[in-house]
Amino acid sequence: MTAPIQHDTEQARRYARIRRRLVLADLAWSLAVLAAIQWSGLSHAIAGWSRARMSAEALAILGYLAMFGAVYYLASLPLHLYASFFLEHRFGLSRMTAAAWMRRELKQIGVSAVLGLLAVEALYALLRHAPVQWPLYATIGWVLFSVVLARVFPTVLLPIFYKTTPLPDQALVERLLALCRKTGVPALGVFRFDLGAETRKANAALAGLGKTRRVLLSDTLVQEFTPDEIEGVLAHELAHHHYRHITKGLLLAAAGSWIAFLLTDRLGQRWVGPLGLQGLADIAGFPMLSLWLSVLGLAALPLQNGISRYFEWQADHFAVATTRLPSAFADALRRLGALNLADPAPPRWAVWLFYDHPPITDRIRAAEIGDRH
């Protein structure tokens, strides 16, 4: 039996308070940096520099994004470095050396740059060539892009960051695959990914679509959790597929994106003139476009998180009902909370604004109530 993990409540609360302050500071700083790049004239200067050297508009956008990305990243680096490296070490969550952090950061920058370039190039191509229908086409493109990413994530993206191997414990593999079949969500196999070299945190997922769908368990989860607890965690993940939460979330996000693009199309003309832009398709207005979409995203965040928390409650109830191991599921949640240093009782306003999962204490209590029934 895996030894119990003590949840340091005060440490978790301190960590959560600092994380919330950092999130708010990062949001404010990011918006300020975007505004400064736009209103200082720097964006126009970068766009002019790129267009003077690139004959095609797509190449000019590539050059612009390279320069803009470098400026934005350097401006955001101090907060990012503290949040992702120093704070995690301060609370004993990270095991990465400075060199390991830098290697991971370079990988993240590379992947984000490629994906971001594809998305931005496609958006500006639509703004240039479909100035009337672009909100609809952009929404369709975003949905297709998301589906492709979900499909290739376990086979293309995940291996960039983590070594992934088939789980050697055949008894556990058969148990988990049997659970997948029981719930009508078949999986290719069960794989272990090496998270422990970076952090003490634990995680699990059912990733991929169709023939790429597979169960992913972090090595920290396999080492620290009992088979009953792992089965409960997987049952929770299976519930998201059983209830089609991913599809529903994608449709809701698509509707939200369409509304955001429509608002951008209607209201964007109001900033084109004052900012000296040739139109929405002018890449020099990219910081303003990013700022505007960020504000719309923040406005929608409480609703988005509220829907997500409802889905998570459904998944918890499904896990208890399917495995009929409520005590094990409660223990798994307790262990996850301790390993991940989750705040046991965050303020209501923080839950409303930041949390896409219900507070861990509420989830444990609900599982324990299920145990008594």
Proportion of the chain above pLDDT 90, given as a percent: 84
Give the E-state strand segments of 168-212 in sequence order: 190-193, 204-207
| Domain assignment of residue 3, yes or no | no
pLDDT-derived band at 5, boundaries 50, 70, 90: low
Distance between CA atoms of residues 5 and 48, nearest Å: 58
pLDDT-derived band at 25, boundaries 50, 70, 90: very high
| In a shared domain, residues 187 and 246 | no
Q: What is the mean pLDDT of residues 218-236?
A: 95
Distance between CA atoms of residues 233 and 274, nearest Å: 53
Report the candidate in 366, 359, 358 with the shortest Cα–Cα distance to residue 7.
359
| In a shared domain, residues 179 and 220 | yes
Query: Taking the CB of residue 115, how many other CB atoms lie within 10 A of it?
Result: 13
Average pLDDT score over the chain: 92
| Domain span including residue 212 | 164-237
pLDDT at residue 150 in the model: 85
| In a shared domain, residues 13 and 118 | yes
* pLDDT (tens digit per residue) in 129-186: 999 999 999 999 999 999 898 888 888 888 999 999 999 999 999 999 999 999 998 8
Q: What is the pTM of this model?
A: 0.89
Q: How many domains does the chain have?
A: 2
Query: What single-letter DSSP state applies at residue 218?
Result: E
Instruction: For tokens 């509220």, name the residue.
Output: 306
Task: Indicate the SS3 state at residue 205.
Answer: strand
Which of residues 237, 255, 276 is at a domain's end?
A: 237
| In a shared domain, residues 211 and 266 | no
| In a shared domain, residues 229 and 242 | no
Residue type, 27: L
**Among the listed ranges 21-30, 76-85, 363-372, which one has the minimum average pLDDT value?**
363-372
| Residue 221's CATH number | 3.30.2010.10
pLDDT-derived band at 373, boundaries 50, 70, 90: very low
Q: What is the mean pLDDT of residues 295-323?
A: 95
Which of residues 191, 212, 237 is at a domain's end?
A: 237
Which of residues 174, 205, 237 is at a domain's end?
A: 237
pLDDT-derived band at 2, boundaries 50, 70, 90: low
